């Protein structure tokens, strides 16, 4: 026991120093055996409390019999209660510095009661029989960044539901979601936040239980099963993670021991409270949480939400009351240091991990390592590309010539970061319309425009993310309270669009030149970026092997171009390998059925060119046949 106490004191010192990165091994509720007694050891951090007790059904929610013991000056309180077991519900009864008694859920609990109930539950995470050894072995040796990254973003509560409107469970989703995503040709699933949260309408972004997989869909080991099935099917799993703010609900982190323990500044955009990254224990809590999901749930990466609001001291604030840091700048220097430490720690233990930043400004070097002055992520959402592209495709056809640059501008900065091109949930809510309904024109033109957008997105440098429903042309905005409009697959245009997305995704995965050099200037070359009169863009995507090149042409007007001449990288015979206008996709059938032989003569700065048919509101890909 003296050795155990010495170990614990050392780790609590690290926790207080902001450097304990597996805090969940000490804090929370853990089944243990002391001597002949089996029970649960509880530990919580509440440094300003007068008294802390564990309460639950076992003591009629009265704290007088189970007061916790303070652990020196660390602010931690601990208690072993014999006889308790998995499934017992509990909270902490905390007496604040002012004598008020408040009831709080355990910040480190591995499971919580199903909403609207708010108590924590004793739960042992060990014992799940993982079957994803092949996946984990490959990612450890091969890494994940060498492979294509084509992400399907999912909100589990509204992807599909049962006939009575209730949620599918984690295990039911494993049987339905996993084969569907695999069949559609995606490489990864991104799960919107699954940490415990009280309000369905928050989509999981306002969290009370950072270490608890939400009980809406089942138990933690059921979520493990879902992730295990993804890996066995060859699908990576990314989880949304929200370290910037937490909700105000009375049982959560807000005013935890009667004080602003984890932070407390109002987040003006979301009505939540911001974490204070200058607090050592908040850093230990959050970095440990990132490690927890990677350690125990085998996830492949985290998409870190709302980084801009963390980095900027005055995010969302009006002119009055604005602050500067000690250097006179507008950056939150403690948040900068937190993010750097987060990424360094994750990569130390999980070098393969995907750490993805949702950062909406031009903050520099987000995906550069901290030793070079960067934040240390390996990917960043390209919000500029998303905004410019969606604005352009929403334009009436007759206005596109005057905004031609809008679609080409992204290539001015495409290699400044390791970008992901997001067509996410945020773009199909709050009056923005669905992707399909953004498109101008008649019914046929809307679907043609959506096919064109999808193919252009696949061919543009950067990794990819598409929100659920986009693959079959969900017509109305996303609604979190019901399932997607799967009945639309009974309509031919939607059914054919899903077949198009499946085929386009599979082509993307097959063609290394479309993803192998996504973040290298050598992987892209404009053929013609300036054809504003016809609203046609053409470029080449290149792989790392010599001659591994795709010629891509995109026509953003509803007029076909016959005998369209385009420069090509080398003389030879070119074959159409993909066309968004094929009849089986719902197109008009303006394809290039025969191979095309190049002719010499300077065109688009190239010594050789081909003549081809470019479909209306369509994209076409060509590849040179081996000599």
Write out pLDDT tens, residues 262-282: 998 888 888 899 999 999 999
Number of domains in the chain: 2
Burial 106-129 (b: 16+ CB within 10 A, else e): bbbbbbbbeeeebbbbbbbbeebe
Q: Left, alpha or beta for 417 (phi > 0: left; psi -120 to 50: alpha)?
A: beta
Catalytic residue list contains 305: yes
Domain assignment present for residue 33? The answer is yes
Query: Strand pairing of 379-381 and 419-423?
Result: parallel
Dist. CA 33–CA 208, nearest whole Å: 29
Does residue 287 form part of some domain? no
At 574 the pLDDT is 97
pLDDT value of residue 2: 67
In a domain, 96, yes or no: yes
3-state secondary structure of 364: coil
Assigned domain for 480 exists: no
Phi, psi of 122 (to 5 degrees): -70, 130
Q: What is the pTM of this model?
A: 0.96
Whether 551 is covered by a domain: the verdict is: yes
The pLDDT value recorded for residue 142 is 83
Catalytic residue among 106, 240, 300, 305: 305
Encode pLDDT of 370-398 as tens digits: 999 999 999 999 999 999 999 999 999 99
Over residues 319-367, the pLDDT tens digits come to 666 788 888 888 899 999 999 999 999 999 999 999 999 999 999 999 9
Helix (H, G, I), strand (E, B) or coil at 473: coil
CATH number at residue 52: 2.60.40.10
Q: Let me know if residue 68 belongs to a domain.
A: yes
Which residue, among 156, 128, 172, 159, has the nearest Cα to 297 in the 3D structure?
Answer: 128
Domain end (from 121, 146, 171): 121
Quick one: DSSP state of residue 374? S
Q: Of 121, 139, 171, which residue is a domain's last?
A: 121
Residue 605 lies in a domain: yes
pLDDT score recorded for residue 4: 77
Whole-angstrom distance, CA of residue 608 vs CA of residue 569: 7
Residues whose CB falls within 8 Å of the CB of residue 426, separated by 6 or more in sequence, listed in order: none
CB 155 within 8 A of CB 203: yes
- Domain assignment of residue 592, yes or no: yes
Host domain of residue 46: 23-121
Which of 121, 154, 185 corresponds to the end of one domain? 121
State which residues of the chain have pLDDT below 50: none
Per-residue pLDDT at 364? 95
Q: What is the pLDDT of residue 320?
A: 63
CATH code at 587? Answer: 2.60.40.1180
How far apart, in Å, are the Cα atoms of 92 and each of 74, 109, 148, 273? 18, 11, 46, 21
pLDDT score, position 327: 86
- pLDDT at residue 323, as a whole number: 85
- In terms of Cα–Cα distance, which of 238, 242, 239 is closest to 144? 238
Catalytic residue among 222, 358, 427, 511: 358
Provide the pLDDT for residue 360.
92
Percent helix, strand, coil in the chain (nearest 5)? 30, 25, 40
Is 196 known to be catalytic? Answer: no
């Amino acid at each position: 026991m003296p050795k155990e106490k010495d170990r614990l004191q050392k780790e609590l010192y690290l926790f207080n120093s902001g450097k304990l990165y597996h805090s969940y091994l000490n804090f929370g509720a853990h089944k243990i055996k002391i001597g002949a007694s089996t029970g649960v050891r509880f530990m919580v951090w509440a440094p300003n409390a007068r008294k802390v007790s564990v309460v639950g059904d076992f003591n009629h929610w009265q704290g007088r019999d189970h007061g916790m013991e303070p652990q020196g000056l660390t602010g931690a309180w601990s208690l072993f209660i014999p006889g308790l077991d998995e499934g017992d519900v509990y909270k902490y009864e905390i007496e604040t510095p002012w004598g008020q008694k408040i009831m709080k859920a355990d910040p480190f609990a591995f499971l919580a009661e199903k909403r609207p109930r708010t108590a924590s539950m004793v739960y042992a995470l060990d014992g799940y029989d993982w079957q994803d050894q092949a996946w984990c072995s490959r990612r450890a040796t091969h890494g994940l960044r060498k492979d294509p990254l084509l992400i399907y973003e999912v909100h589990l509560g509204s992807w599909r539901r049962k006939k009575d409107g209730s949620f599918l469970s984690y295990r039911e989703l494993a049987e339905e979601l996993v084969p569907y995503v695999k069949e559609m040709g995606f490489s990864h699933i991104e799960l919107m936040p699954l940490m415990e949260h009280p309000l369905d309408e928050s989509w999981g972004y306002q969290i009370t239980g950072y270490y608890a997989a939400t009980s809406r869909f089942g138990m933690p080991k059921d979520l493990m099963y879902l992730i295990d099935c993804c890996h066995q099917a060859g699908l990576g799993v990314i989880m949304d993670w929200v370290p910037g703010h937490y909700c105000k609900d009375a049982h959560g982190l807000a005013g935890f021991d009667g004080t602003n323990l984890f932070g407390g500044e109002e987040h003006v955009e979301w009505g939540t409270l911001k974490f204070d990254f200058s607090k050592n224990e908040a850093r230990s809590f959050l970095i440990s949480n990132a490690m927890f999901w990677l350690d125990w749930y085998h996830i492949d990466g985290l998409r870190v939400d709302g980084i801009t609001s963390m980095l900027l001291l005055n995010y969302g604030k009006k002119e009055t009351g604005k602050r500067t840091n000690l250097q006179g700048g507008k950056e939150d220097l403690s948040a900068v240091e937190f993010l750097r430490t987060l990424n360094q720690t994750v990569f130390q233990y999980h070098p393969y991990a995907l750490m993805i930043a949702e950062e909406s400004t031009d903050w520099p070097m987000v995906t550069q390592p901290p030793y070079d002055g960067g934040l240390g992520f390996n990917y960043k959402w390209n919000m500029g590309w998303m905004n410019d592209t969606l604005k352009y495709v929403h334009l009436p056809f007759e206005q596109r010539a005057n905004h031609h640059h809008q679609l080409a501008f992204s290539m001015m900065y495409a290699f400044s970061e390791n970008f992901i091109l997001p067509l996410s949930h945020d773009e199909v809510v709050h009056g923005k319309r669905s992707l399909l309904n953004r498109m101008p024109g008649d019914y046929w033109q809307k679907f043609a425009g959506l096919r064109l957008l999808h193919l252009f997105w696949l061919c543009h440098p950067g990794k990819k993310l598409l929100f659920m429903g986009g693959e079959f042309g969900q017509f109305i905005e996303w609604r979190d309270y019901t399932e997607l409009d799967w009945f639309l697959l009974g309509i031919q245009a939607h059914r054919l669009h899903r077949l198009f997305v499946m085929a386009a995704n599979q082509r993307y995965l097959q063609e290394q030149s479309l993803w192998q050099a996504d973040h290298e200037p050598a992987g892209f070359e404009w053929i013609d970026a300036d054809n504003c009169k016809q609203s046609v863009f053409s470029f080449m995507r290149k792989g790392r092997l010599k001659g591994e090149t795709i010629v891509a042409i995109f026509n953003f007007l509803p007029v076909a171009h016959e005998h369209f001449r385009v420069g090509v990288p080398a003389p030879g015979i070119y074959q159409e390998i993909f066309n968004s206008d094929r009849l089986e996709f719902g197109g008009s059938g303006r394809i290039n059925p025969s191979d095309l032989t190049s002719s010499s003569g300077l065109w688009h700065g190239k010594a050789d060119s081909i003549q081809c048919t470019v479909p209306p509101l369509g994209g076409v890909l060509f590849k040179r046949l081996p000599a």
